[in-house]
Structure 1
Amino acid sequence: MASFRFIHTADLHLDSPFKGLRHLPKQIVSEIYESTFRSFDRIVEYCIEKEVDFLLIAGDVYDLEVQSLRAQIYLKRSLEKLNQHGIHTFIIHGNHDPIDQQKAQIKWPERVHFFSGDRVEGISFLKENKEIARIVGRSYPMKAFMENIVKDYHRQNPNLFHIGLLHTNVDGQQNHDPYCPSRLQELISGEMDYWALGHIHKQMILHRGPYVIYPGNPQGRHIQETGDKGCYYVEVVDNEVQSIQWLSTAQIRWETIELDISQITTIDDLINLIEMEIEERLIQIKRPMLTRVILKGQTSLHILINEEDQRKEIEEVLNVHLIEQQPWAWIETIQAGTQPPISIEKIGEQGSFLADYLSQIEHFFKKMDTETIKKEILSELFRHRGIKKHFSSLTNEDMEEIKNQIINYAYEYLLGKE
């Protein structure tokens, strides 16, 4: 009975610069910068603890095209540990660390294999001198690699379990570069038993039988990468996936916390509520946490909370305390998503200038759907490549949020001056 075990990870982004965090206290900045290394340390520990046969890394080992020497030496030493335990490592390069970029001349351990950027290749995996699996893969030859290469992933032996190692954007995932595009249906109908994917920083099992899996990145790097992060541990018996287990690796968690403050009437109660919610979250996750707090609900504190200086002061008061906790927390920002205490409907009944203005806003958004607004009003913005990338995915929910912000600004300006 042929059996083997492996761990599937991707998007390590070793030595990530964590831009925009230099203003944080020194005692946590170094911990944040080290987090990508420590998360991979945990993966190495898992490999040894679970006695896996090999480790798969599906691209973006490093964070920059010009990879730091520190990251390369660190990776070599980590893989040497695995090599000493008889564990193989199979690696492809992605858009952040393509083959054509500068690397140090390093002699890698004998059980480490980097896939070529020239073509798709298949590597045999032998256990007790018997071939039991094939790992098929290709690295990015350049950063902007736009070719669909799924058709080149061939089953080379019908009696072996085949793993496809691929750094790809499946079905045009929004907010991700469209490099090495593929379609889920072509992966399913392809010749692999397990597609070990990378590129999308979100844990997703897209299909089972064959398995098509994104493990996400092992360490979140900004507020868009919230929640737990990790890798997959897979057991294969007689060419069938016997079990799949999610393993947590994140050393620091990014979290978004939404709070309804409809019943809060004083600033000190607001501070206490935020503090309590964050401390409860720390107990649950047992990890340091960088968080964004979003305040919601109709409240008498609406105008005050919508003043940025006031929110900054609240952040400072809270962070002085939260940074001393074990594990620590830090509020990245407090955002205002509240509404005025008087309903829009009641304002409309007053027959005032504000009521007329709000009526015009409602009429506009009812008349213009999201796509029409994009084409007729935001067309100039959409000609800018950077803006288009972020705004092309605007949804009806996003437009509703924009409408609410316009209403809130009108309320603050016209009634907040009284």
Structure 2
Amino acid sequence: MRFIHAADIHLDSPLTGLSAYADAPVEMLRTATRDAFTNLVNLAIEERVDFMVIAGDLYDGDWKDYNTGLYFAKEMGRLRKAGIPVYLLYGNHDAENEMTRKLLLPENVFVFDSRKPSTFRLDHLGVALHGRSFKDAATVENLAAGYPEPIAGMINIGVLHTALEGNAAHANYAPCSLAQLHAKGYQYWALGHVHEYCIWRGDAVVVFPGNLQGRHIRETGPRGAVLVHCNAAGAMEVERVHVDVLRWHRLGVDVSGCQSFAEAARAIGNALESLLEAGPAHMPLALRVVVSGQTAAHGELFGMEAQLRLEVLAAIAALGNDRLWLEKVRLETQALDDGQALRERADALADLQDLLESAGTDQEFLDGLRGELSGLVDKAPPELKSAIPYFADIKNGDLAALLREIRPSLVAHLAKVE
């Protein structure tokens, strides 16, 4: 017996972080979640699986129009022709109270009840599927505690949308413990909600398949579902399958050895070339380039994210490749030293460093600086406000981080000019 376990498909959820750029792959961003799901349906048909389980968040929330539902019905129709049933559980994003628009589902799609746990028996396979959909998005009760006892002589599969213990990055929906799932007596738990692939083996096999398609830079790396093989003895073999169509990647570039802005830009270009050589030839990559290191180029690089982004775009263009798309460039470099060498000098630079170090505790100076900068922040266009992290701090009157960053950067830049 074989089945596909998927979750967190978020159909028609937008990919964020690229669409604002003129060079963005607009069509790919618009259809990525659908294309990944179509790939999953293709795989199910090719592998002739016995059934598919979707463990919550098929949709990203209420439909903007009926096209999302029509698309899903079409894909389910393809599975119906192939004789593949689908067992669908709703999670927090597509909970019963979240969805005002609905369409009748094809007859091969079976939905877990939201009022109480329900069970679907597949007697010809010796399988029982147990689950309960979310009635309300903010479901914080332990749903697993009410799931039925396992049916003797059958492979029991629990379908559950849950944060599970220890996943602090995710909202605490339908909380339960791993120990509780292992103790239930089921052979497999098909989980959803956590977007990273995770698997635990014990008395049961417990799996988060992750989401089908990464939607932003916090969801890097391969994405997909799992194909589960169950032998006659009930042993489970779990195979991860990747169906995503665009992959997010964080490219770290250490510029410690660079002496200038130009050298740092060339180091990034070399890193891009190496990434292309090592990465999958067919997969478009949405990149965040993170530039770090303690470097002599720190002063030249400070505040130059916009210019450095243009240099990275030029490097991508020079590589003649249409698989790389730049999401953002982040600068996280540090000055080459802590300023001790300057303190030992008896000149204007040493005086400037002393002034900047004492500025953080000079309330009169801080008030004046905030007044000057607030005028700039108020007049700045929205795209600039989102691009400069210190704007929010300036509005809140918290200038400490800005001063800590400015001091070594300004002094290092002036020292280089000298």
**TM-score, length basis structure 1:** 0.81
Identity %, equivalent residues: 27
Relative to structure 1, the CA distance from residue 184 to residue 360 in structure 2 (aligned partners, 3 Å threshold; closer, same or farther) is: farther
> What SS class does the counterpart of residue 38 from structure 1 fall into?
helix
> Residue 294 of structure 1 aligns with which residue?
290
Partner deviation per Cα, 1:165-215 (whole Å, 9 max, x = no partner): 111001141221111111111111123211111101111113344111111
2:330 maps to which of 322, 330, 335: 335
Partner deviation per Cα, 1:45-66 (whole Å, 9 max, x = no partner): 1111111101111100011234
1:168 maps to which of 153, 162, 173: 162
> Residue 316 of structure 2 aligns with which residue?
322
> What SS class does the counterpart of residue 333 from structure 1 fall into?
strand
Instruction: Give 2:293's aligned amino acid.
Output: G
Answer whether contact 1:282 1:289 (CA < 8 A) is retained: no
Answer whether contact 1:340 1:408 (CA < 8 A) is retained: no
Q: Distance in 2 between matches of 1:156 and 1:345?
A: 69
> Residue 39 of structure 1 aligns with which residue?
36
Answer whether contact 1:99 1:140 (CA < 8 A) is retained: yes
* Between 283-292 and 324-333, the greater mean CA deviation after superposition: 324-333
Q: Distance in 1 between matches of 2:286 and 2:156?
A: 40
1:14 maps to which of 7, 11, 18: 11
> What SS class does the counterpart of residue 34 from structure 1 fall into?
helix
Q: Distance in 1 between matches of 2:38 and 2:47?
A: 14
Relative to structure 1, the CA distance from residue 120 to residue 262 in structure 2 (aligned partners, 3 Å threshold; closer, same or farther) is: same
Work out whether 1:143 is the aligned partner of 2:128. Answer: no
Task: State how many pairs are aligned.
Answer: 370
> What SS class does the counterpart of residue 32 from structure 1 fall into?
helix
Q: Distance in 1 between matches of 2:354 and 2:185?
A: 63
Q: CA deviation at 1:293?
A: 1.0
Work out whether 1:122 is the aligned partner of 2:119. Answer: yes
Relative to structure 1, the CA distance from residue 48 to residue 325 in structure 2 (aligned partners, 3 Å threshold; closer, same or farther) is: farther
Relative to structure 1, the CA distance from residue 155 to residue 356 in structure 2 (aligned partners, 3 Å threshold; closer, same or farther) is: farther
State the Cα RMSD in Å.
2.8
Q: CA deviation at 1:270?
A: 2.6
Work out whether 1:78 is the aligned partner of 2:75. Answer: yes
Answer whether contact 1:15 1:68 (CA < 8 A) is retained: no
> Residue 147 of structure 2 aligns with which residue?
153
Answer whether contact 1:153 1:191 (CA < 8 A) is retained: no
Q: CA deviation at 1:349?
A: 6.7
Relative to structure 1, the CA distance from residue 102 to residue 243 in structure 2 (aligned partners, 3 Å threshold; closer, same or farther) is: closer
> Residue 370 of structure 2 aligns with which residue?
none
Q: Distance in 2 between matches of 1:239 and 1:112?
A: 28
Q: CA deviation at 1:254?
A: 0.7
Relative to structure 1, the CA distance from residue 138 to residue 406 in structure 2 (aligned partners, 3 Å threshold; closer, same or farther) is: farther
Instruction: Give 2:255's aligned amino acid.
Output: I
2:302 maps to which of 295, 302, 306: 306
Relative to structure 1, the CA distance from residue 345 to residue 102 in structure 2 (aligned partners, 3 Å threshold; closer, same or farther) is: same
1:228 maps to which of 222, 228, 240: 222
1:213 maps to which of 194, 203, 207: 207
Relative to structure 1, the CA distance from residue 125 to residue 355 in structure 2 (aligned partners, 3 Å threshold; closer, same or farther) is: farther
Q: CA deviation at 1:103?
A: 4.6
Relative to structure 1, the CA distance from residue 105 to residue 359 in structure 2 (aligned partners, 3 Å threshold; closer, same or farther) is: closer
> Residue 269 of structure 1 aligns with which residue?
263
Instruction: Give 1:63's aligned amino acid.
Output: D
Q: CA deviation at 1:17?
A: 2.5
> What SS class does the counterpart of residue 269 from structure 1 fall into?
helix
Q: Distance in 2 between matches of 1:200 and 1:131?
A: 29
Q: CA deviation at 1:414?
A: 4.8
* Between 101-110 and 152-161, the greater mean CA deviation after superposition: 101-110
2:21 maps to which of 1, 14, 24: 24
> What SS class does the counterpart of residue 217 from structure 1 fall into?
coil
Instruction: Give 1:107's aligned amino acid.
Output: L
* Between 15-24 and 232-241, the greater mean CA deviation after superposition: 15-24
Q: CA deviation at 1:325?
A: 4.5
Answer whether contact 2:251 2:289 (CA < 8 A) is retained: yes
Q: Distance in 1 between matches of 2:192 and 2:64?
A: 18
2:128 maps to which of 111, 114, 134: 134
> What SS class does the counterpart of residue 124 from structure 1 fall into?
strand
Q: CA deviation at 1:273?
A: 2.4
Q: Tell me, which stretches of 5 or more residues in structure 1 are unaligned? A: 362-402
Q: CA deviation at 1:415?
A: 5.0
> Residue 57 of structure 2 aligns with which residue?
60
Q: Distance in 2 between matches of 1:203 and 1:46?
A: 19
> Residue 112 of structure 1 aligns with which residue?
109
Instruction: Give 2:323's aligned amino acid.
Output: W
Answer whether contact 1:96 1:143 (CA < 8 A) is retained: yes
Answer whether contact 2:18 2:327 (CA < 8 A) is retained: no
> What SS class does the counterpart of residue 15 from structure 2 fall into?
coil
> Residue 397 of structure 1 aligns with which residue?
none
Q: CA deviation at 1:318?
A: 2.5
* Between 223-232 and 242-251, the greater mean CA deviation after superposition: 242-251
Relative to structure 1, the CA distance from residue 344 to residue 159 in structure 2 (aligned partners, 3 Å threshold; closer, same or farther) is: farther
